[in-house]
């Protein structure tokens, strides 16, 4: 799908408007762990095409780091799991409208998002980066001048590239991670805003051509429930504590991230881990 260019100020105002609209829309009724157990199924919102986080295998099975997290939490509750693949822009609306019970969906923990959803404690660490050609020197934000950069519309990388790129850079916003990656590897764009795990996908498509250039922001991912769902928030935090302690989180990290489990912060400014 073709991206489109937006004025930087308008893009940031648009992102704020989306959060505000979600925040003040009529929320779905709160759900508790007992109600999930009674219906026998946990409906998990997940990214559908963003390996290693969430993707659909050739056999039609939802797989990836977040899929394993969602399946484990459903097992903890003693219910079946149903995955609903979502694009970046659809994640929060799917939760607040009641289409899904919880998000394990590469949800970067950001203060604006914490106004619309309830984050759990973090269970994954990430960083937002710029990926560019190995043969081009990109060492500062100013080096992005004149580049055409693809990003997933509404994602953390959209915000960071919009914030940091010079005015002469062209930012093309695509509906989802896969489309933004494809724009780079097909030559439609010069560089790509993504996270530290994007490079593996790019390398598989065009070996030896690209590398991580700039790091914009360190991030942590959390599970998301609806605001005010205290019991479900308590349950998911207890679950994360458990898999950290018993080694199951390490197993998932070893399988998908292939890096050691990091130290997680006990607090993040503007982002409560527990529901009021």
Report pLDDT for 49: 87
Answer yes or no: is 273 within a domain.
no
- CA 38 to the chain's CA centroid: 29
Helices (H), 97-175: 111-114, 156-164
CA dist 127 and 115 (Å) reads 22
Indicate if 204 and 232 belong to the same structural domain.
no
For 273, phi then psi, to 5°, come to -90, -15
* CA atoms in the 13 A half-sphere facing the CB of 20: 6
Indicate if 88 and 30 belong to the same structural domain.
yes
Report pLDDT for 121: 98
Q: What is the DSSP string of 224-265?
A: EE-TT-HHHHHHHHHHHHHHHHHSHHHHHIIIII-SPPPPPP
CA dist 217 and 268 (Å) reads 14
- CA 248 to the chain's CA centroid: 21
Indicate if 19 and 132 belong to the same structural domain.
no
Answer yes or no: is 268 within a domain.
no
**pTM above the 0.85 mark?**
no
Give yes or no for a contact between 33 and 231, defined as CB atoms under 8 angstroms apart: yes
Using DSSP, state whether 216 is helix, strand or coil: strand
Indicate if 182 and 192 belong to the same structural domain.
yes
Indicate if 137 and 55 belong to the same structural domain.
no
Indicate if 115 and 132 belong to the same structural domain.
no
Indicate if 121 and 137 belong to the same structural domain.
no
Domain count, the chain: 2
Report pLDDT for 27: 55
Local confidence pLDDT in tens for the 276 residues of the chain: 334 344 444 444 444 444 444 444 455 667 999 999 999 999 999 998 888 999 999 999 999 999 999 999 999 999 999 999 999 889 999 999 999 999 999 999 999 999 999 999 999 999 999 999 999 999 999 999 999 999 999 999 999 999 999 999 999 999 989 999 999 999 999 999 999 889 989 999 999 999 999 999 999 999 999 999 999 999 999 999 999 999 999 999 999 998 889 999 999 999 999 998
Answer yes or no: is 1 within a domain.
no
Indicate if 240 and 105 belong to the same structural domain.
yes
Indicate if 112 and 228 belong to the same structural domain.
yes
Indicate if 114 and 21 belong to the same structural domain.
yes
Using DSSP, state whether 220 is helix, strand or coil: strand
Using DSSP, state whether 4 is helix, strand or coil: strand
Indicate if 119 and 235 belong to the same structural domain.
yes
Full residue range of the structural domain in which residue 168 is found: 127-218
- CATH code assigned at 206: 3.40.190.10
């Amino acid at each position: 799908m073709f991206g489109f260019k937006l004025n930087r100020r308008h893009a940031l105002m648009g992102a704020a408007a989306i959060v505000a609209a979600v925040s003040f829309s009529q929320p779905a009724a709160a759900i508790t762990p007992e109600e999930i157990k009674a219906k026998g199924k946990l409906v998990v919102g997940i990214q559908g095409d963003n390996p290693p986080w969430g993707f659909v295998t050739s056999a039609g099975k939802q797989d990836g780091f977040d899929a394993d997290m969602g399946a484990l939490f459903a097992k903890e509750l003693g219910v079946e799991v149903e995955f609903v693949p979502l694009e970046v822009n659809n994640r929060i609306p799917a939760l607040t409208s009641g289409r899904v019970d919880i998000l394990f969906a590469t949800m970067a923990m950001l203060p604006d998002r914490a106004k619309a959803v309830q984050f759990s404690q973090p269970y994954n660490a990430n960083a937002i980066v710029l990926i560019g050609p190995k043969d081009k020197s990109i060492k500062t934000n100013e080096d992005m001048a004149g580049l055409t950069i693809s990003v997933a519309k509404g994602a953390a990388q959209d915000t960071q590239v919009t914030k940091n790129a010079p005015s002469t850079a062209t930012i093309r916003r695509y509906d989802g991670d896969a489309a933004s990656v494809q724009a780079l590897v097909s030559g439609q764009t010069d560089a790509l805003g993504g996270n530290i795990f994007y490079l593996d996908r790019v390398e598989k498509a065009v070996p030896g051509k690209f590398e991580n250039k700039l790091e914009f922001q360190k991030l942590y991912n959390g599970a998301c429930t609806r605001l005010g769902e205290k019991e479900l928030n308590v349950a998911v935090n207890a679950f994360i504590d458990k898999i950290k302690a018993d080694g199951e989180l390490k197993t998932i990290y070893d399988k998908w991230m292939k890096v050691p489990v990091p130290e997680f912060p006990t607090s993040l400014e503007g982002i409560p881990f527990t529901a009021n």
